Structure 1
């Protein structure tokens, strides 16, 4: 009898192209039960000394509590390409944590990754941040306020929260221009501001990346991604931010998703590959 040919391939001693997940890692004790992240890492041979670039990812949540599982399948693609990904939670405004608690947590997570760089094989000189919606807002603010003591906690205080690049997907950039939200604030808006936002405008100014951009400063690279049919965050929020970054000399780039809404069909493999390409070129 003639048998079908047996196909042979080589084994994979470097574990290249494979990823693994480390769930429920406490990176901050700013709240009673701890603030957690999930790390998606390349599979690394036990004797490896290789270090990998790192991306901290912040899922949008309206500044409440991120669903870290939403993008894990997509982020795993990037981990398989040789990146350590930390998809993080932060303190929930609806549980009484006012601004800037959530931004402080994001910056603490970055310092944590640097503090644990040996354990997780991270190259501390190559760390970026990627966020969606409110997470995109926090990503932009992180990139624009490197090591600002206003947003620093005592946890891992010897480490920097500086990032090399920022990817923002449909994040609000100018909260003063969101008149409908100011006139009809959500419970999260009220919680963040510690009251009526109209009476606490300094908080919404501080939460607006648009007003953080200054000429003459050195910033990381930025990629802004926005759908032109976004029903929650107007397209103009991203285009105005993009123009301001460019006007101030930042290395800024933008992708417009035609007919793209807020999440859902906004996403495609084509878009993910473009974002991955931006990250891989600069990190």
Structure 2
């Protein structure tokens, strides 16, 4: 069930394009796959829809935080709920957008596929660099969405005890960070809210250690991420801070999901997926998190798609790059994981 093509205009800069540039690698080095499942998506069938009736709720305001100027900034979500006998497990989708935009309308077909598999799927907006905020506010927005959905669970027909996060790209990074926090607040680490915790996380071509986001790339791309004028540094330190990630190592560590693993007694289960030809986020980013999770005794599975690029680039009219991520085989890895962790 595709959503409307027009996103909330507040999440697009005035001229319709992001105001910061993404760096695209010209080469991608291979990374270790010995602890991962390797899948070749070539020739795999694409997903189809229409197997189950879905109901939808559009433009639900889940929070109204402030932007950097102190102005109220309503945040909205879109909810798909399958026709089931009882409350459906919840999957909160966090869209990508290079830390610059957050369009809840992204990936409509794959979200509908997950909903038709029996899960309520909520897709959210969150604050980004454009609103003058950092990763801390974006994580707070994801946590606010979890709390809102749980508070309205009976109205929406969702099961508050079975909740997962699913993100793509920048959204996958936020899903991972929110997941490992286990309900803890970045602004007040001593405070833990179980309503902001989840059982499982699906991380699709996401970042983890932003200081190494270009580790697999050519020297020119690595150099582009070394300064202060790149999206990773801006999202950690603030768009106008003038700081690189190396200039504030404490903030860089705080932004890294791996730094929080020791502080969460019960880590969620993780499914991480990455393409070997991703030119935006180094494939080793999901490997770093996967290995750290396993070292902490967490349930973590990593899947590597041979030859797949950065699926989010499909939004830039490159439909072909999204195809490995919308095959039935790839999507069934996600739905099977969600069934195992949330339903079975």
What's the TM-score once normalised by structure 1's chain length? 0.85
Q: Which of 221, 226, 232 in structure 2 is aligned with 1:182?
A: 226
Asked if the contact 1:143–1:220 (Cα under 8 Å) also holds between the matched residues in 2, the reply is yes
Closer/same/farther in 2, CA of residues 272 and 96 from structure 1, 3 Å limit: same
Equivalent of 1:63, from 90, 99, 102? 99
Does 2:114 align with 1:78?
Answer: yes
What secondary structure, in the 3-state scheme, does the structure 1 residue paired with 2:155 have? coil
The corresponding residue for 2:28 is none
SS in 1 for 2:154: coil
1:12 is aligned to none
Query: C-alpha deviations, 1:138-174, integer Å up to 9, x for none?
Result: 111111101213357xxxx976111010000111111
State the SS of the aligned residue for 1:213: helix
Give the whole-Å Cα distance in 2 for the aligned partners of 1:277 and 1:234: 26
Once the two structures are TM-superposed, the CA of residue 99 in structure 1 deviates from its matched residue by 3.3
Choose the corresponding residue for 1:171, options 206, 223, 232.
Answer: 206
The change in CA–CA distance for 1:219 and 1:232 in structure 2 (over 3 A counts) is: same
Structure 1 residues 205 and 58: alpha-carbon distance in aligned structure 2, compared to 1, 3 A threshold: same
Distance 1:71 1:254 in 2: 21
Q: Give the equivalent residue in structure 1 for 2:297.
A: 249
Instruction: Choose the corresponding residue for 1:51, options 80, 87, 101.
Output: 87
CA distance in 1, matches of 2:103, 2:304: 25
Q: State the Cα distance separating 1:221 from its structure 2 match.
A: 0.5
Query: Residue 89 of structure 1 corresponds to which residue in structure 2?
Result: 125
Contact 1:64 1:188 survives alignment (8 Å): no
Q: Which residue of 2 aligns with 1:34?
A: 74
Q: SS state of the match for residue 140, structure 1?
A: helix
1:193 pairs with 2:237: yes
Distance 1:274 1:187, change over 3 A: closer
- The structure that has the greater radius of gyration is 1
Partner residue in 1 for 2:5: none
Unmatched segments (≥5 aa) in structure 1: 1-15
Whether the 8 Å CA contact 1:37–1:88 is kept in 2: the answer is yes
**Aligned equivalents of 1:215, 1:78: Cα separation in 2:** 31
Aligned to 2:180: 144
Residue 57 of structure 2 is matched in structure 1 by: 22
1:203 aligns with 2:251: yes
Is contact 1:225–1:254 with CA below 8 Å preserved after alignment?
yes
Q: Counterpart of 1:109? A: 145
Is contact 2:57-2:80 (8 Å) kept?
yes
Gaps in structure 2 of 5+ consecutive residues: 1-50, 67-71, 214-221, 312-321
SS for the counterpart of 1:119 is helix
Separation in 1 of the partners of 2:91 and 2:61? Answer: 17
Moved more, 252-261 or 64-73: 64-73
Alpha-carbon distance change, 151 to 118 in structure 1, aligned in 2, over 3 angstroms: farther
Given that 1:215 and 1:249 are in contact with CA atoms closer than 8 Å, whether structure 2 keeps it comes out as: no
* Structure-1 separation of matches of 2:202 and 2:305: 15
Task: Give the match's secondary structure for 2:156.
Answer: coil
Residues 191 and 119 from structure 1, CA distance in 2 versus in 1: closer, same or farther, beyond 3 angstroms?
same
Mapped partners of 1:188, 1:93: distance in 2: 10
Greater RCO, 1 or 2 (C-alpha within 8 Å, sep 6+): 2
Is the CA contact 1:94–1:191 (under 8 Å) kept in the aligned structure 2? no
Give runs of ≥4 in structure 1 deviating > 3 Å. none
Q: For the residues of structure 2 that align with 1:93 and 1:164, how far apart are their CA atoms?
A: 29
- Native 8 Å contact 1:210 1:241 kept in 2: yes
Whole-angstrom distance in 1 between the partners of 2:295 and 2:137? 30
